[in-house]
Chains A and B, each alone.
Chain A
Amino acid sequence: MKGSRFYFLAILIIAGCTPPQEKEQSTGRTLNTQVKFARKFAVEENAIIVKEPWPGAVAPISYAPDTPPQRVVVTSTTHLAYLEMLGVEDRIVGFPSTQYITSPVIRKLVNDGKITDLGPDGSMNLELLISLAPDAVFAFDMGSESTTLDKIEESGIPVFYNADFLETSSLGRAEWIKFFGAFFDKEKEADSIFTSIVQRYDSLKTLAADAQNQPTIVSGVMYGDTWFLPGGQNWAAEFYRDAGGRYLWENDSTSGWLEISFESVFEKAGEADFWIGTSTFNTKKELAGQDTRYTHFKAFKVDEVYNYNKRLGPTGGYDFFESAYTRPDRVLADLIFILHPELLPDYDTYYFQKLP
């Protein structure tokens, strides 16, 4: 999700937003989905319950899916990935900021005029949205989106809150495919896709557990004079651990991002073996051009700097932020290949690449 890296700012503007709580009591379809990893939603016999629809929400929202929606608007690039995996991407009629979409299948739908651009993220063009007459809007609310979403609900279009970004485990986040599966009457498909992802993830994790050594990892870059890196409970940190690495901030208790002074990072990670995740920097030269002090890191000197920029869209959108959340197995395989290439001899990375 594009917005997740912007989380720390979004949190600043969380006002006491209380959109109307939906308690639909219609006689919906009978659902049969088991949720194993996700903590923020559950599926009952005829209800999908989002336990924490937005950060800090106190009450769950329950939805009773009826007939599967045929015309939908989604608001996050991660939603696109789930729908594409379920094979219902052709039901998307509108999306904010389509220029950042990287998936070729969905880009084609945009270019063919099947998907309408609804304007910038967070302040969608409501008139345009309503004129598309969608029968469902799948949205996320990180705190500032609720005013727009309330208006959509007032106009009679149901809004379904997706809180996948609040999941703390990578498999839990990927399991949200079942959330969409339940709405689109694709429960079996969702279940089998997710099961195969879990199986691959587990076998990769077992493989990495046998690794001889655990190389140390540093992540992130400086903005101004402050280094932003994932907290020890962040989505990224879990991957580093499962891939047989030792993230130097793994004992930290933050699930968001840490803001740390350069000297602390250098003291702790100057000798780190790998540097993974360099934001918008795509070459070592760019890194050194931004701040020559980056060149003092061992990972920089021995050429072990990686970024998730192997797949970029035509206007610079990162496929990583679009589809990586739905495919944790791919992310894990990439990281294992980077940290322990001998374990995956014939592999080629999907999202990550070494900075030239």
Chain B
Amino acid sequence: MITQFLEASQNKWTKVLIGLAVVLVLCFLINVALGSVTIPFESLIGFITSGSSGQASWDMILSNFRLPKAITAMLVGSALGVSGLQMQTLFRNPLAGPYILGISSGAGLGVAIAIFLGFYLGGFLELSGIGRSWLLVASAGAGSFLVLLIISLAATRLKDSITLLIIGLMFGAAAGALVSILQFFSQAENIQAYVIWSFGSLGSLSWSELYVFIPVILIGLLGSVLLSKPLNTLLLGENYAISLGLNIKKIRLLIIINTAILAGTVTAFCGPIAFFGVALPHLTRMLFNTSNHLLLTPLIILFGSGLMLIFDFIAQLPGMEATLPINAVTALFGAPFVIYILLRKKNLNYAYQS
């Protein structure tokens, strides 16, 4: 009986995952096909089959702009969704997200320092031959790494996960204050550059950055798949998990590092992309009616990738020259969707029951 039931359920989930993968491929193709510049369908087919769309500028747009952007969108969507899920489960808090530990604040502070002291760094950069885009990535990465370090240190000492939340919150406040001081004494152009960074962007990565971005995010995603089982145990409550033989401190540290790699890398390359990481786990749990992390993690990877491709598609306002910041789109279109599903489901408790 039980094996029969398991098999049926396995079949069902395999079908769901394959279905999602097909939808994802469609989203990917639509995202690449449509943008501000109208490229005819035949040229697109030509580009896919023979590598040339018949016009040099279109080849350049497709291969150096739309393709990197679509890949970035997928990785960002899945990375933020998965790290949001991990944080929600770790803290047993529906409001937790990838940035709850202060990772984006640390990254923001790093970037603010780099931008506002940019004039002094300019000469150094020219000498060392590092491009300015890498400077931002490095400073955001350094900022989030620093936060990660302090949080991990705290995590090995503290028994209670909730205390970590408060420490993360304090970091956010302190980093935010430092950023405002830097902004206060800065020139308008630099404030503009910082504000635009904080809007987030998916299209600013070129291939040279993707060569770093892709492997790091893939490693992080693999890590999160491996962490799914202990996460399931954590859902039962920390004390129960300990009694089941889970080394809670070790698992907590691994989860924090995994989240920091995913969310920190995304923030370093694309800026802080808000809302998505908090909302996506809820959406996935509610749409697919499961709280099993072995299923949720792959579901979120596929669903998050597809959804981010759609949001990016909206942000590009196809056919128009102007674009919207991705942060605005994720929240504007995501929030009503979440509210709708919440109202239909009437409560959130299911999420923290195994």
Contacts and interface: CB of A to CB of B under 8 A. Distances in A.
Interface string A252-292: 00000011111110110011000000011111011011111
Interface string A302-341: 0000000000000111000000000000000000000000
Contacts of B291: none
A172 to B, nearest CB: 23
Given A225-B69, A260-B321, A5 B271 contact: no
Given A120-B184, A261-B316, A266-B61, A225 B189 contact: no
A6 B130 contact: no
B268 to A, nearest CB: 14
A229 to B, nearest CB: 10
B57 A3 contact: no
Nearest to A296: B60
Interface string A80-101: 0000000000000000010010
Identify whether the interface residues of A are mostly helix, strand, loop, or mixed.
Answer: mixed
Given A6-B191, A289-B132, A224 B196 contact: yes
Contact of B185 (A6, A9, A120, A258): A120
A284 to B, nearest CB: 11
Interface string A115-144: 000001101000000000000000000000
Contact of B60 (A123, A222, A226, A266): A266
Contacts of A267: 36-37, 57, 61
Contacts of A97: 187
B36 A263 contact: yes
A53 to B, nearest CB: 21
A6 B187 CA distance: 10
A293 B189 contact: no
Interface string B95-131: 0000000000000000000000011001001100111
B249 interface: no
Contacts of B206: 291-293
A270 B204 CA distance: 18
B193 interface: yes
Interface core residue of A2, A222, A290, A315 (most chain B CB under 10 Å): A290
A96 B14 CA distance: 65
Interface core residue of B191, B192, B193 (most chain A CB under 10 Å): B192
B321 A286 contact: no
Contact of B35 (A261, A280, A293): A261
B64 interface: yes
B6 interface: no
A261 B195 contact: no
Nearest to B55: A267
A281 B189 CA distance: 12
Nearest to B271: A224
A225 B60 contact: no
Contacts of B168: none
Contacts of A3: 188
Nearest to A271: B57
A286 B201 contact: no
Contacts of A317: 187
B36 A260 contact: yes
Contacts of B325: 224, 226
Nearest to A8: B192
Given A260-B321, A261-B35, A292 B132 contact: no
B323 interface: yes
Identify whether the interface residues of B are mostly helix, strand, loop, or mixed.
Answer: helix
A264 B197 CA distance: 21
A18 to B, nearest CB: 25
A264 B64 CA distance: 13
B180 to A, nearest CB: 12
Contacts of B200: 224
B308 to A, nearest CB: 14
B201 to A, nearest CB: 3
Contacts of B197: 223-224
Contact of B132 (A263, A266, A286, A296): A286
B58 to A, nearest CB: 8
B4 interface: no
B37 A260 contact: no
Contact of B133 (A261, A263, A270, A291): A291
B276 to A, nearest CB: 17
Interface string B75-98: 000000000000000000000000
A261 B318 CA distance: 10
B199 interface: yes
Contacts of A100: 187
Nearest to B136: A290
Given A100-B187, A261-B321, A225 B37 contact: no
B105 to A, nearest CB: 19
Contacts of A266: 37, 57, 60-61, 65
A295 to B, nearest CB: 10
Given A225-B204, A289-B125, A290-B133, A5 B196 contact: no
B260 interface: no
Interface string B52-69: 000001001100111001
Pairs A-B, 6 closest by C-beta atoms: A289-B131, A225-B203, A224-B201, A6-B188, A223-B196, A264-B36
Given A260-B36, A286-B132, 14 more contacts: A9-B195, A100-B187, A123-B184, A222-B204, A223-B196, A223-B197, A224-B200, A225-B69, A225-B202, A262-B203, A263-B66, A267-B37, A282-B122, A317-B187
Interface of B: 35-37, 57, 60-61, 64-66, 69, 118-119, 122, 125-126, 129-134, 184-185, 187-189, 191-193, 195-197, 199-204, 206-208, 271, 316, 321-323, 325
30 contacts: A2-B187, A6-B191, A97-B187, A123-B184, A223-B196, A224-B203, A226-B201, A226-B323, A226-B325, A258-B321, A258-B322, A259-B322, A259-B323, A260-B322, A261-B316, A263-B61, A266-B57, A267-B37, A267-B57, A280-B193, A286-B125, A289-B130, A289-B131, A289-B132, A291-B133, A292-B207, A293-B60, A293-B65, A296-B60, A296-B64
